[in-house]
Amino acid sequence: MSTVVNEKPEAVRMSEQGKPVTLLEAIREGIWEEMERDERVFLMGEDIGAYGGAFKVTEGMQQYFGAPRVIDTPISEIGFTGAAAGAAHMGMRPVIEMQFIDFISCAYDMITNYVATSRYRGSGPQPIVIRGPSGGYVRGGPFHSQNPEAAFFHTPGLKIVYPSTARDAKGLIKAAIRDDDPVLFFEHKWLYRRPQLREVLPAEDYIVPIGKARTHREGKDLTIVTYAAMVHKSEEAAEILEKEDGLSVEIIDLRTLLPLDEDAILESVKKTNRLLVVHEDTRTGGIAGEIAMRVNEKAFEWLDAPILRVTALDAPIPYSPPLEDYFLPQTEDIVKAARHLANY
């Protein structure tokens, strides 16, 4: 058991001091602030206590907040997800960590059958945040690189958040913790410590509302709807397309996948008349299909070209660099698809 320290460590005072933070540090600051603000917030997960978690998101928290609020659990995703549900029934606001988001599938039953339906069944709200590192580009192989959002996208009662910037990550984790519904909060591990994503965040308390997309880049020739790491791949592609083709690409960062900000998507499509959906998850049954279908139903008349998508291939995510690079969507894939759309 670790000793409680009363001094807030330097690592979570960066924004206070006007220093830039990484996406990971932004999430840590967000959780920290919510734990200070609301004593009902507590953490559970594997190795999150004295060690601070596999990626160190919860570093220093057990020492500061004490072991009863930062609980190291047995390896038991259905167990501690269920325990979070029980604690939520009693008025607590648990934040639980999947050490890698891949392991969320072990708790699939508890999340989809129990947590997501609780309010509906009359068992009351489930203000739980289920967070964890997701995504590829880090050579993690089949069980440390997945994007399981589509498996939960189909479950009413859940909210799904997947930020792409440090500012959004902090504002959204705070919003997720304050939300009265269960929120799955995906953190792209390739973005965790990327120096390019460091930014100075507001010193004061702020949230980013769940359910609202963000225009990452303004454009008029075509829309890319995307989220998480793909926002940055799309940005690289947009710069190439601007330089080499003179194309003006609009990028919509969904930020929240469930509920989906349909209005933002339709508004952009009506402006640019061309839509490319980009996600890192595999293609079949992926979120891109739902987005394309909604645009088809609601904005078909505005389209000047078929909707295209760039996604991972329909295979488990592989380990070796040439395999992973081939499997995951790359900037040049986005450039190619966008050119096809623009020239249609």
Partner 1 sequence: MASKTKSPPAAAIPHGLTREQLLEMYRLVRLTRSLEEKLENLFRQSKVVGGLFRSLGQEGESVASAYALRRRTDGTGDMLSPLIRNLGSMITVGATPAEVVRQYMAKGDSPARGKELNIHFTDYQRGFIGQISPLGDLVPVMAGVTLTFKQRGQDRVGMVYIGDGATSTGAFHEGINFAAVQRCPLVVIVENNQWAYTTPTRLQTAAKSFVDKAPGYGVAAEKVDGNDMLAVYGAAKRAVDRARAGEGVTLIEVMTYRRKGHAQHDNQSYVDPAEIDRWAASNDPIDRFIVTLKENEWASADELRAIDERIDAELDATIAEAETSPLPEPEEALTDVYADGPVRAPWTRHTPADPTQA
* Active site residue ranges: 144
In sequence order, what are the beta bridge partners of 71? 44
Q: In the complex with partner 1, which residue's Cβ is closer, 66 or 141? A: 66
**What does each C-alpha distance from 307 to 43, 281, 292, 340 come to in angstroms?**
42, 18, 6, 11
Q: How many CB atoms lie within 10 A of CB 96?
A: 26
Which of residues 57 and 299 has its CB atom nearest to partner 1 in the complex? 299
- Tell me the sheet residues that pair with 200: 20
Amino acid identity at 83: A
CB of 236 to partner 1, least distance (A): 32
Residue 132, classed as helix, strand or coil, is strand
Per the CB < 8 A criterion, the answer to whether 277 and 309 are in contact is yes
Q: How far is the CB of 42 from partner 1 (least distance, A)?
A: 7
The residues binding partner 1 (CB under 8 A) are 42, 68-69, 71, 73-74, 76-92, 94, 109-110, 113-114, 117, 119-125, 156-157, 159, 179-181, 259, 266, 296-301
The residue among 107 and 249 lying less far from partner 1, judged by its C-beta, is 107
Helix (H), strand (E) at residue 298: helix 287-299
Alpha carbon distances (Å) from 69 to 99, 187, 237? 18, 22, 44
DSSP per position, 268-284? HHHHHS-EEEEEEEEST
Only one residue has tokens 């997501």, namely 116
Q: Which of 283, 232, 294 is nearest to 260 (CA)?
A: 294
Taking Cα atoms as reference points, which of 241, 222, 234 lies closest to residue 306? 222
3-state SS assignment for residue 307: coil
At closest approach, how far in Å is the CB of 177 from partner 1? 14
Is residue 320 left, alpha or beta, with left meaning phi > 0 and alpha meaning psi from -120 to 50? beta
Strands 199-200 and 308-312: unpaired
Shortest Å, Cβ 304 to partner 1 = 14
Q: How far is the CB of 288 from partner 1 (least distance, A)?
A: 18
Structure tokens at 296: 């088809």
Shortest distance (Å) from residue 156 CB to partner 1 = 5
Least distance between partner 1 and beta carbon 138 (Å): 29
> In the complex with partner 1, which residue's Cβ is closer, 9 or 125?
125
- CB neighbour class for 328 (10 Å; exposed up to 12, middle 13-18, buried from 19): buried
Count other C-beta atoms under 10 Å from residue 67's C-beta. Answer: 15
